Amino acid sequence: MTGGSTLVNLLDFDLDGLAAWCEGLGEKRFRAVQLFRWIHQKGAADFAQMSDLAKSLRDKLSGAAELRGLQVISEQRSADGTVKWLFDVGGGNAVESVFIPEDDRGTLCISSQAGCAVGCRFCSTGHQGFSRNLTTGEIVAQLWFAEHRLRAAANSQERQIDNVVMMGMGEPLQNYAALVPALTIMLDDHGYGLSRRRVTVSTSGVVPMIDRLREDCPAALAVSLHAPDDALRDQLVPLNRKYPLAELLATCRRYLDAAPRDFITFEYCMLDGVNDAPEQAQELVRLVSGQSAASRGVGRVPCKLNLIPFNPFPASGLKRSPRERVIAFAKVLQDAGIVTTIRKTRGDDIAAACGQLAGEVQDRTNARERLARRRETIPIAVAGDAA
């Protein structure tokens, strides 16, 4: 979608950035506010729609800027209401966003990178390798598109997305410069007006960037733990070799000083015979209570545990833990007083779960052909929930 355009993409700007850019056009800040609201609150896709802006300004805008969204490759709707979009980000790369409706709220899961450099064993994005960072505009475009698409489908002007989780493709804290303005737009009352508690950054543990996020934009934090000790975590999440558990937990404790919630969410992907034994649950209790070798110097980290059933893909060579084993693992944690949830699998029929980009992801050298194939056979799935 880059296409050599010289026009500025206004989706790249948070309100301060837009105000500075408007100033360059000789326009006052309140014009930037109007423009920002047209874009994000009303979902205007071109300047001609912006009826309360002077015609002369609209002409000036069309000559210098554009609203460059993402090209949709496919839209799939699950029997349970989950919607998955696959977006083309150019160069043979695609990213996904998933909307998960619940009784009391709607959650959108969005991507921060095409591919990911962290290379976790159990993640299909990790197996794909890293292609590139998304721009702020490309991160925000996922929300911009989904929110207004869902409003149109519901024939409503009401907010459809109350919750954003950065749990799609990519490691958000390895794309920090683009992430922070994107979060700012989501939180801005003139933008999406989302509560800080309802915008969650999920990270595999980029320690220095967690500290920066605490300073710059302390959204809710989810940390992908997946193992109770360094030896196993080194294997599953290679970044652990750089930032081991003691450092990660100490950073999580510090984050709580600024966090919008008084706990950290730890994600733990349940892998059959790898990290799901009751003894490992006990070790996990010791870890977050400040009683294990890795956490003795850190102390207790107030947290919630979110156990994620592994979504298998062939290249991983791993299997999902049996349900009883997940329940037994959860019980050890709950008996120790740790609030623990088991994530419901949603949208199984459209491969909408975490780390499942479009099913059969191979290596990214094939991405171009894969995209071409997919454009020809966009599957609209409706099978029942297989979970």
For the annotated catalytic residues, the residue numbers are 96, 354
Q: Is 74 in the site for ligand SF4 (CB under 6 A)?
A: no
Among ligand SF4, ligand SAH, none, partner that 218 touches (CB below 5 to 8 angstroms by kind): none
Nearest distance in Å: CB 122, ligand SAH: 5
Q: Is 307 in the site for ligand SAH (CB under 6 A)?
A: no
For CA atoms 363, 368, 372, 375, give the dihedral sign: positive
| Residue 201 phi, psi dihedral angles, 5° rounding | -95, 125
* Among residues 141, 206, 269, 332, the one that binds ligand SAH under rule CB under 6 A: 269
Nearest-angstrom CA–CA distance, 348 and 385: 6
Show the site string, 329-358: x = touches ligand SF4 by CB under 6 A, - = not: --------------------------x---
Identify which of 359, 360, 354 has the alpha carbon closest to the alpha carbon of residue 100.
354
CA angle 248, 251, 256 (to 5 degrees): 130
Q: By C-beta, is 19 or 287 nearer to ligand SAH?
A: 287
Q: Can you spell out the DSSP letters for 190-204?
A: TTT---GGGEEEEES
What does the chain come to in residues? 387
Q: By C-beta, is 123 or 285 nearer to ligand SAH?
A: 123
Nearest-angstrom CA–CA distance, 162 and 195: 8
Nearest distance in Å: CB 263, ligand SF4: 21
DSSP state at residue 383 = P
Q: Does residue 231 contact residue 221 with C-beta atoms inside 8 Å? A: no
Among ligand SAH, ligand SF4, none, partner that 119 touches (CB below 5 to 8 angstroms by kind): ligand SF4
Q: By C-beta, is 47 or 85 nearer to ligand SAH?
A: 85
Give the CA distances from residue 90 to residues 70, 132, 229, 352, in Å, rounded to whole numbers and listed in that order: 9, 10, 39, 22
* Among residues 69, 107, 108, 119, the one that binds ligand SF4 under rule CB under 6 A: 119
Residue carrying the six token digits 């003691």: 246
Q: Is 120 in the site for ligand SF4 (CB under 6 A)?
A: yes
Residues 51 to 110 in contact with ligand SAH, rule: CB under 6 A: none
Chain residues binding ligand SF4 by CB under 6 A are 116, 118-120, 123, 125-126, 170-171, 204, 224, 355
Chain residues binding ligand SAH by CB under 6 A are 122-124, 167, 171, 202-204, 224, 267, 269, 308, 310-311, 354-355
